[in-house]
Structure 1
Amino acid sequence: MTTPSHTVPGTGALRETGKLFALAGAVLSGIFKRPFQFRELVEQFWFIASVTILPTALVSIPFGAVIALQVGSLTQQLGAQSFTGAASVLAVIQQASPLIVALLISGAGGSAICADIGSRKIREEIDAMTVMGVSPIQRLIVPRVLACMGVAVLLNGLVSVVGVAGGYFFNVIMQDGTPGAYLASFSALAQLPDLYISELKALIFGFIAGVVAAHRGLNPRGGPKGVGDAVNQSVVIAFLLLFFVNLVLTAIYLQVVPPKGS
């Protein structure tokens, strides 16, 4: 009489996590291998940029305005209106800008990447490439991940500029803020490492969004419905990882880089 086999609870999640880290390592090593798919990289870069640039610009305006209005209201209550510019601008550059870019890339570009790779997987194109000796990671995934990283870095600069300009406009126009005080407090407390950490976050977030989308696309369950489920899962998993990694990077940055003037 045979005893039924039992699976240890949680092993499925651990197995998927291991696959995700293995894929991330393979992508990192594949960046330096040849031949490099430059044409595919350019095509994916243009596609991801085209589907994310307009939503990113439109989202950054109200996001910067909300931060400026909220910070301006708090500083008025505390009698520290002169610090409105520094607080709102640093919040946009360090936190809001890379997260906005990463979330939109994951939601727009990442979902398209997951759907494309997932459809190739269920049509057995990925298996056919492997049989012919072509690495799917080198041919398909590395260019898409690099495109996500490049677009994230460039769009991060756009969101920073648009968010800061929107915050300045709403603070000065709607809250009767002083333009000189807004700019003076920003220049007095902001420093170049604030921009560096913002771009570094965008680079890492773009990598995470691309790898998660590719991972779920390579592992769909079932047919077309499984691909749709994989797309939804890739967005949710990417969101969770992005917020966790943002917390870790922010904590490390605040410990390593002292505030200006301290």
Structure 2
Amino acid sequence: MSQAVPVRALLRPLIPVGDLFAFALQVLRSVFRRPFAWVEFFDQAWFVTRVSLLPTMAITIPFGAVLSLQIGSLFNQLGARSFTGAVAVVGIVQQAAPIATVTIIAGAAGTAVAADLGARKIREELDALEVLGIPVIPRLVVPRVLAVAVVATLLNGVATAVGTIGGYIFNVLVQDGSPGAYLHAFTALAQLPDLWVGEIKAFVFGLVAGIVACHQGINAKGGPKGVGNGVNQSVVISFVLLFVVNTVLTLVYYQLVPPKGL
């Protein structure tokens, strides 16, 4: 009995992980249930776009500028200045754009989703829907999760274009780089799967951020203070899972698609 207590105490932190995983499976299974709440989906997609578009574009420009400046300075010391464009753009397409996009979406739209569902939870609106025979997950959760994932994928394309243009401008105007060398290095080393993996990352990141936000909102407890705690936790959990998933997807991508050589 004395040995069971420490084991139970060690396993206690894994309970929220299991709850989140079970909730994610339930959401993914409910995606294929009919009828689908199209009105809720479009409303949430427009909301996510409205609060995330301009911040995503604004944060991607510094990402592209920092990558271009840092890589350009390093490659200039190594005598490989002509490869600045390839490395900067590939870094933006594969890493910076998806991460920047979902960071903004998780911080802006994800917190709003968690707060909305949390407020409905403490007002017992979600319990009332269940009593009326309206399942909460297909009606409220699935449209929000898919809206976040779809908008993240679309915004990733915008962020990629803005970051690439920003990196080009800073390399050419600030570092006196050659426009022709920048574009030639990009076309020589970059490949179409680089863009696809960026879009896949954005979609998966959006799913993760949406599921975490809805899970924290639905499980809010303790009144308004509990809703606030759930919102804060949704941001932290989303960011941690984002970087874990990004590492896994990047490793899988480089195993399946070998880098393009000169």
Same fold (TM over 0.5): yes
Query: 2:11 matched to which residue of 1?
Result: 11
Gaps of 5+ in 1: none
* Range moving further from structure 2, 19-28 or 74-83: 19-28
Question: C-alpha separation between the residues in 2 aligned to 1:100 and 1:12?
Answer: 33
Counterpart check, 1:124 vs 2:124: yes
Deviation at 1:81, TM superposition (A): 0.7
Question: C-alpha separation between the residues in 2 aligned to 1:257 and 1:51?
Answer: 35
Deviations 1:123-154 (A, max 9, x none): 11111111111110001000000000011001
* Range moving further from structure 2, 115-124 or 6-15: 6-15
Map residues 48-63 of structure 1 onto 2, 5 A cutoff.
48-63=48-63
Map residues 19-58 of structure 1 onto 2, 5 A cutoff.
19-58=19-58
- Aligned residue type for 2:55: P
Question: C-alpha separation between the residues in 2 aligned to 1:40 and 1:12?
Answer: 36
Question: C-alpha separation between the residues in 1 aligned to 2:11 and 2:118?
Answer: 23
Secondary structure at 2:149 match in 1: helix
Secondary structure at 1:261 match in 2: coil
Deviation at 1:221, TM superposition (A): 2.8
* Range moving further from structure 2, 63-72 or 123-132: 123-132
Deviation at 1:10, TM superposition (A): 3.8
Question: C-alpha separation between the residues in 2 aligned to 1:244 and 1:185?
Answer: 30
| Number of residue pairs aligned between Structure 1 and Structure 2 | 259
- Aligned residue type for 2:105: I
Map residues 89-168 of structure 1 onto 2, 5 A cutoff.
89-168=89-168
Query: 1:64 matched to which residue of 2?
Result: 64
Indicate the percent of aligned positions where both proteins have the same amino acid.
Answer: 56
Structure 1 runs, 4 residues or longer, greater than 4 Å off: none
Question: C-alpha separation between the residues in 2 aligned to 1:207 and 1:189?
Answer: 30
- What is the RMSD of the two structures over their aligned residues, measured on CA atoms? 1.4
Contact map agreement 2:122 2:221 (CA 8 A) in 1? no
- Aligned residue type for 2:65: A
Question: C-alpha separation between the residues in 2 aligned to 1:64 and 1:192?
Answer: 19
Secondary structure at 1:9 match in 2: helix
Secondary structure at 1:29 match in 2: helix
Query: 1:234 matched to which residue of 2?
Result: 234
Deviations 1:195-245 (A, max 9, x none): 010000000000000000011111113010000010000000000000011
Gaps of 5+ in 2: none
Deviation at 1:254, TM superposition (A): 1.0
Question: C-alpha separation between the residues in 2 aligned to 1:167 and 1:142?
Answer: 37
**TM-score normalised over the length of structure 2:** 0.96
Deviation at 1:11, TM superposition (A): 3.5
Question: C-alpha separation between the residues in 2 aligned to 1:12 and 1:111?
Answer: 26
Question: C-alpha separation between the residues in 2 aligned to 1:51 and 1:82?
Answer: 38
